[in-house]
Structure 1
Amino acid sequence: MSGSSPEQWVTTLMDTLGAPGAGIAIALESVFPPLPSEAILPLAGFAASTGKLNLLAAVLWTTAGSVVGALALYWLGAWLGRDRTVALAAKVPLVKASDMERAEDWFARHGRKAVFFGRMVPVFRSLISVPAGVERMPLPVFVGLTALGSAVWNTAFIMAGYALGANWKEVSGHVTTYSKVVLGVVLLALVALVTRRVIRSRHQRRRD
């Protein structure tokens, strides 16, 4: 990819391999994003509008790529397992064992919905695969939910790129704003959590 932008690299990949190239780009994006899916998918839709890709093939191959990338992170979570995850979390300041227990309880109750809907949320699209692996969600269930959620996300963005044609970059602009809002909400929640923990810690030290 030296000497070319990520966008040019993805374009070359699709020009060379067709729809499977878009699938490979999405699989790589899921693990180590050279270019966000919000850019790859509309670009694939634009390519389909020009006849370079088959529209249905683009949807199927990018969904397959999403599943492959998600499986890589699922197996990472499975390899880490609960003990390693708890040990790593224990090294993070202000994180308690009870936090892990609550997270486990939450995933036990809402894991399936999280895997499905998480595929439609920037950043969490990839990250949700790790706790699914840690908790050893049944593989057929994980693959099925990942494929369904990814198919919805991928189809929406490919069709948007297909409809907009040469103006496909407009899609990325709107999603960038959406991504920033999501990340902003998460950061505010983390700041609130840390602030509450710090205040509790100070009060505890004063009582002691």
Structure 2
Amino acid sequence: MSTQDNIYPIFDRMLSRHDKEQLLGQKGVMLWFTGLSGSGKSTVAIALERELQKRGLLCRILDGDNIRTGINANLGFSADDRRENIRRVAEVAKLFVDTGIITIAAFVSPTEDLRNLAQHIIGKDDFKEIFISTPIEECERRDVKGLYARARRGEVKNFTGISAPFEAPQHPALSLDTSKLSLEESVAQLLQLLNIK
């Protein structure tokens, strides 16, 4: 492509990802947490963020609470809206990863198709799928909002695990069952995956 054909010349003048990673002294990576509602995604993400902070590493958590109240506030829960939700999350995550930030996405993302979409946008080399594999019985037991009970009564439509399917990842980088692992054990396994002491 000639210079005249490049309609986005700013990218050629911006500092590179390598420059950002050198400044931060770390590598950008995407940890994509997937699992049922109540499986422990956000809890593990927050605990990992705190451990990374203690080690002087910059991390950003993206989850339903900080995405659906802001950038995705206009989306509902139809199949198309769920796909657009994940697409936008992945595009935002890519910006963080390309800035050298350890980025954690904590979303149900119930299908292989949705997770593949995210991986394609972010890039296979930067994408680590983490399956929070806590059994549904434990997720229901923890459900303080009563969403599972409401879904079982038919009051919540298309609720993943009850009235909508969840496709477990076939080859996650790591699988964590928070009904068997302590929070500390889960975080230790994630640090090991990231090769962080």
TM range (shorter): under 0.3
Which of the two has greater helix per residue?
1
Q: Which is richer in strand?
A: 2
TM-score of the pair, normalised by structure 2: 0.27
Q: Which has the larger radius of gyration?
A: 1
Provide TM-score, normalisation by structure 1. Answer: 0.26
